[in-house]
Amino acid sequence: MPVTRPTLAAASWQRRHGDRTAHHRSVHDRSCYVAGDAGLAGLEPPRRASRRGPAMTRHALAVGDALRRRAAVSDVELDQVFPDELRDRSHVHWTPVAVAMRAAELLAPTPDTRVLDVGAGVGKLCLVGALVSGATWWGIEQDAVQVAAANHAAWALDIAGRTRFVVGDGSQLAWDEFDAIYFYNPFSTVMLAPHASPFVRYAAIQATLRRVEQRLASVRAGTRVVTFHGFGGKLPAGFTRISRDPAGDDALELWVRDGGA
């Protein structure tokens, strides 16, 4: 019998995200990056920020080289490739480097794997994954400022050729082109939408989770799903949990769609 993940409690959503709507607006107002929606096809190269000098270039390349060698890199060191005004989200909202390295192993056992990070934020999981594996990594995120930062970081780390970051709602995207999917509790910000009643927020998150569960029910056999703090819903019938590794302040769970290795 397949194992299903229990629904994530609202307290866990709050633990990860807090009330960040006001901060989210202020970041848009003062980001050093130019935001835009590239779409899933015809992605343009990320625009270079004006405030990136030779010291930043050297730092990013050194971090990238260290991760390629699987040397220890702290979150503080990697986070320097992102703009100052976003970094305070790191310890709560972004996958830690050590967790991302293990998640990459679970998501991409072969170099031809195509991985989707749903609710990618600044793309930390995808960036680390591209540095430690030969796979191709896609991130979809509704915050255009974070997407711009992710694309810029990919350029700075010299991995833009194997990463794609786009603006959009991951629950609306078809997932059949991907071999593996990553969730770090990506939909909880719906519950924190400003100026919406609790009923509206609850209805919105339930509609989103229904779409996610429908997407998951239709993926190919053998599709891998890795969760960190879950995604807010349940894996549908047809998924088997393969492993559960303690990671950070939770665990990485690997699920595989039945019928494939």
What domains can be seen in the chain, in order of their start residue? 10-28+52-257 (3.40.50.150)
CB 133 within 8 A of CB 125: no
What pLDDT score was predicted for residue 7? 32
Asked if the model's pLDDT at residue 123 lies above 50, the reply is yes
What letter represents residue 258's amino acid? Answer: D
Query: How many helices and strands in the chain, by DSSP H and E?
Result: 10, 7
| Residue 16 in this model has a pLDDT that exceeds 80 | no
Read off the pLDDT band of 129 (50, 70, 90). very high
**Residue 53 pLDDT > 60, yes or no?**
no
**Any idea what DSSP says for residue 259?**
T
145 within 8 A of 33, measured Cβ to Cβ: yes
Residue of 196, 201, 194, 198 whose CA lies nearest to 22 = 194
* Helix 124-132, helix 54-68: angle, nearest 10: 60
Average pLDDT over residues 159-170: 94
The token duo for 35 is 């935001």
Q: Across-strand partners of 163?
A: 137
The phi and psi torsions of 22 (rounded to 5 degrees) equal -65, -40
Q: What is the mean pLDDT of residues 116-137?
A: 96
* Cβ(38)–Cβ(140) below 8 Å: no
CA distance 83 to 210: 34
pLDDT at 204: 80
Residues 125, 133: Cα–Cα separation, whole Å = 12
Name the DSSP class of 81.
T
Across all residues in the chain, what is the average pLDDT? 80
- Distance (Å, rounded) from C-alpha 180 to C-alpha 115? 5
Q: Are 190 and 172 in contact (CB under 8 A)?
A: no
**Token pair recorded at residue 183:** 């969730």
